[in-house]
Amino acid sequence: MADPNRPRAAFTPWDRRELPGSFSVEESAKRVGHYKWIEMRTFEVLGGWVATVPELDVKLRLGTHTYHHAWHAELWHKRLPELREMNQERLNVPPNDELVAFVDAMTEPEAPDLTIEKLVGVYRVLIPHKIAAYTFHLNNTSTITDAPTVRSLNFALADEFDDWRDGEMLLQSLIETPDEVQRAADRQAELEKLLLAAGGIAGPGSIGSPAQGEPDPESEQVTP
């Protein structure tokens, strides 16, 4: 056994985490508030759709996924006060009216013959955008100072990837004709345009600003 009195570094040799991060406490809280809002809309609509889809396998998958997104909403709800946001409802808002328009359009289908439209909205549009925004946050926040957010992002991302795969495979199994391929593509294009106008699930800067090579022109760059 090594000499217990011998000084050791605070970080294990394989730990390459760094202090700098792209988000201030306020910016992180703002994004987390948007995440809570969109996760709530996600679990609410999935729960509502369960009764409207006749396909048994889809019905049961939606039921399971309803809980995943509710749990994400709870994670973000609990994170907000830790980011100095004691009023958990103040930041539980969409980033802009355009995202509300997207959600309204995504949640509009009800008829039992619209399962493709329902699934495309969530699994080919919303969830890929959530994965993108969460991944951007994960890759740009301080892995030391914002470690609790990183942990929640990792949990949420694991679910999002699994659910995306489930939803995509459901769609592939439901789409049987060229016309249905077109239906799915049309629905995706319609919703993508709305989400483009919103700038992503957290508004402009959801996945950074490629032109400047920076995450968000409005956010504070924190370097030690």
Q: Which residues bind another protein (CB under 8 A)?
A: 40, 43-56, 59-64, 66-67, 69-71, 73-74, 77, 107-110, 112
In the bound state with another protein, the residue whose beta carbon lies nearer, of 88 and 188, is: 88
- Distance in Å, CB of 57 to another protein, minimum: 10
Positive or negative, the CA dihedral 193, 204, 154, 152 is negative
Burial group, residue 31, by CB count within 10 angstroms (0-12, 13-18, 19+): buried
In the bound state with another protein, the residue whose beta carbon lies nearer, of 167 and 205, is: 167
- Distance in Å, CB of 70 to another protein, minimum: 3
In the bound state with another protein, the residue whose beta carbon lies nearer, of 82 and 110, is: 110
81-91: string of b/e by CB count within 10 Å (b at 16+)?
Answer: eebebeeeeeb
- Distance in Å, CB of 45 to another protein, minimum: 7
End-to-end C-alpha distance for the chain, whole angstroms: 36
Task: Map residue 139 onto helix, strand or coil.
Answer: helix
In the bound state with another protein, the residue whose beta carbon lies nearer, of 64 and 173, is: 64
Q: Report the C-alpha gap between 89 and 67 in whole angstroms.
A: 21
- Distance in Å, CB of 56 to another protein, minimum: 6
